[in-house]
Amino acid sequence: MISQYNKYVCDHCGAVSISTVALQRDRCHRCLASLPYGEVIDIDYEGAVCLAVPFSVSRSEMEEEALRWMVKGDYTPDDIVPNSYDCYAYPVLLPVCVFDGTYSGHWQASCGYKREVIYTDYVQRVHYGPHQQSRLVTEPVTRTKTVVDWHPASGVVQGDFSVAIAVTTTFLSDNLAFIQRGDTCERCAFDDATVESCVIEPFHDDDAYQAAVFNKRAKHIVNDIVGEAVVRLIPGDVYKDCRWQFTERHECARVFLPYWLAYYSYDGDDYYLIMDGQSSSRITGLRPVDRRRERRVGKIWRLFNTYLIVFAAVMICSCILPLMAKWGILVFTAILVAGLIPLGVLWHSASEQERKVLKAARSRRRDALYDHLDTGQDYFA
């Protein structure tokens, strides 16, 4: 079965995407720039080697959970919901290479067994005479220490692995780990029913590219998986000098994972969020920060921080008192206790003021969210 799709290439950022002919697009899913007319291409489903994971999060559920995520945070602006503009959301299928395979190899290490040893140590103490004359006295002290008996160990390691590597060019590297944690189990055929109304970022149709992805980004993950398996096999209480060698065999499955991409602007800056199309609780992105509230909270803690610096300086200077006379330790303890009491009072006062400020801000954002949800209007275009 052959179906027609539109292929888009953004003139601004160079992003390549495809979508069904029925989905007419005018904005790039990466930079929101205007798109030129799409080029019609044919896709042979029967010859396709790609799979797709269907969306289970509806658009209405995405909007509500996205707004709830936007109003979170201690320093999020109170008017983020009513004053955000240029809000767009797209269902996107992002390319992920899933490498499934097996490994086998050998390992060797030094394993250690702990045991307790009792021994006698000699320490020097200052002894004060009747006329405050001091002299050093050597006294025996019984101590206990832990020693480790080391023994060589080796063995065989083998098992299975499954590593997902996102090959999308839409996001920076800090978001690739979030995308790769998506569930790739519920795979189905790549057809019109699965990809309807979705923006699709295509794979590189190049076996050499997939091999490079495995060698550069997946192989060290497989090595870590083997290392974790080796550690579980090492006997004893501790280990050192652990080394292993292994061979692996794998197959690459090209899977499209579903994600909602949402963009919005606030106070002249652009922000985004990414939501897993299978679980609305998995969200990441960028939120604006209310700098005025940050400065207000900083002023609340200013008195506490100033007192803490002064108290630390006094305690550092007081450390010489126990060395000057026998009663110096008592003076040092009195200064410590007398300084900790107001320190605790100031900390509690600042914490309460900060809690009230942040609680009031969260309440205002929550009220603004509920006011919008009550209208039933769409937030993202």
In this model, does residue 166 exceed pLDDT 60? yes
Tell me the two tokens of residue 302. Answer: 């200013």
User: What local confidence, expressed as pLDDT, does residue 225 receive?
Assistant: 96
Selected residue with higher pLDDT from 228 and 35: 228
What's the pLDDT score for residue 132? 63
Q: What is the pLDDT of residue 25?
A: 80
Which has the higher per-residue pLDDT, 346 or 24? 346
Q: How far apart are CA 351 and CA 324, in angstroms?
A: 39
Query: Which string of DSSP letters, residue by residue, matches 254-268?
Result: EEEEEEEEEEEEETT
Q: Which H or E run contains 314?
A: helix 302-318
To the nearest whole number, what is the mean pLDDT of the chain? 86
**pTM: predicted TM-score of the whole model, two decimal places:** 0.78
Close Cβ partners of 18 (under 8 Å, ≥ 6 residues apart): 5, 6, 7, 8, 41, 43, 200, 202
pLDDT at 105 over 60: yes
- Residue 202 binned pLDDT confidence (cut-offs 50, 70, 90): confident
Q: Lowest-pLDDT range, 14-23, 58-67, 215-224, 338-347?
A: 14-23
Is-contact 278 109, C-beta < 8 A?
no
Per cent of the chain over pLDDT 70 is: 91
pLDDT of residue 189: 72
- The answer, yes or no, to whether residue 221 has pLDDT greater than 90, is yes
Q: What percent of the chain has pLDDT over 90?
A: 49
**pLDDT at 193 exceeding the cut of 80:** no
Pairwise pLDDT comparison (190 vs 99), residue with the higher score: 99
For the stretch 262-319, pLDDT in tens is: 999 999 998 999 999 999 999 999 999 999 999 999 999 999 999 999 988 888 877 7
Three-class SS of residue 283? strand
Asked if residues 198 and 73 have their Cβ atoms less than 8 Å apart, the reply is: no
Residue with tokens 């009792």: 118
CB 216 within 8 A of CB 53: no
Q: Using one digit for the tens of pLDDT, what is the confidence trace for 239-268? A: 999 999 999 999 988 888 899 999 999 999
* Gap between the Cα atoms of 62 and 362, Å rounded: 21
Q: Are 64 and 357 in contact (CB under 8 A)?
A: no
Write the CA distances from 139 to 49, 124, 136, 284, 308, integer angstroms.
79, 6, 10, 62, 40
Residue 92 has pLDDT above 70, yes or no: yes
What mean pLDDT comes out for the span 43-67?
81
Query: Is pLDDT of 46 > 60?
Result: no
**What pLDDT does residue 168 have?**
82
Q: How far is CA 211 from the centre of its chain?
A: 27
Average pLDDT over residues 19-24: 78
Alpha carbon distance 252, 154 (integer Å): 32
Are β-strands 134-166 and 85-128 bridged in parallel, bridged antiparallel, or unpaired? antiparallel
b/e per residue 52-74 (b: at least 16 CB within 10 A): bbbbebeeeebbbbbbebbbebe
pLDDT at residue 236, rounded to an integer: 93
CA distance 260 to 178: 13
CA angle 353, 357, 361 (to 5 degrees): 165
At residue 313, the pLDDT reads 86
Q: Are 163 and 222 in contact (CB under 8 A)?
A: yes
pLDDT at site 276: 92
pLDDT in tens, 118-135: 999 888 877 776 766 667
Helix, strand, or coil (residue 261):
strand
pLDDT score, position 113: 96
pLDDT at 300: 93
The pLDDT tens digits of the residues spanning 308-362 come to 999 888 888 777 665 555 666 777 788 888 889 999 999 999 999 999 999 999 9
Give the model's pLDDT for residue 171. 64
Contact indicator for 92, 198 with CB cutoff of 8 Å: yes
pLDDT at 48 over 60: no
